[in-house]
Amino acid sequence: MSKLVRYSVLVVLAAAVLAACSPVKNPGADNPYAPQAGDAGLVRDTIEIVKMEVVRSTGTPSEATLTLSYFLPTPCHQFRMAVSGPDGNLRITIDAYSLMKKDQVCALMRLSTPSAASLDLGGFPAGKYTVWVNGTLAGEITAP
């Protein structure tokens, strides 16, 4: 076998090993709805979740996305999702809520159509994970 062929095979094998061993992204690492620095001065409120779903990709490592349809109390509220886990039981916990400025008067009524949010949960090593949103099971992720 020529040196060039052996070298090419070695490069391809090294790339495959590195891709398979690449670090997995933590759930919610790219969270556009993460709590912000100024949130402590805001008043926390609930949201009404209409629909939630966990969709798993077919790639390796296994990745998943959480989609939510929800209503804010008013359009003056800001949406947040705080992600933690997975814990020792492979449970990913998401706290979805709204915030509004203290003493702000909002004369606007709740929107008639729900808002939508999509959160990349990242990749997962082998295991069976559960995703919980506000104490309710949103779905499961089985990573091979």
pLDDT in single tens digits along all 144 residues of the chain: 565 445 444 433 433 333 343 445 566 668 999 999 999 999 999 999 999 999 987 666 668 899 999 999 999 999 999 999 899 999 999 999 999 998 888 888 888 999 999 999 988 888 999 999 999 999 998 887
3-state secondary structure of 9: helix
8 Å CB contact between 94 and 132: yes
For the chain, which residues make up each domain, given as ranges?
A: 26-143
Instruction: Using alpha carbons, select from 143, 144, 130 the residue that is nearest to residue 52.
Output: 130
Distance (Å, whole) CA 25 – CA 58: 16
Peptide bond into 75 cis (omega under 30): no
8 Å CB contact between 143 and 126: yes
Determine if the pTM surpasses 0.85: no
Distance (Å, whole) CA 86 – CA 54: 15
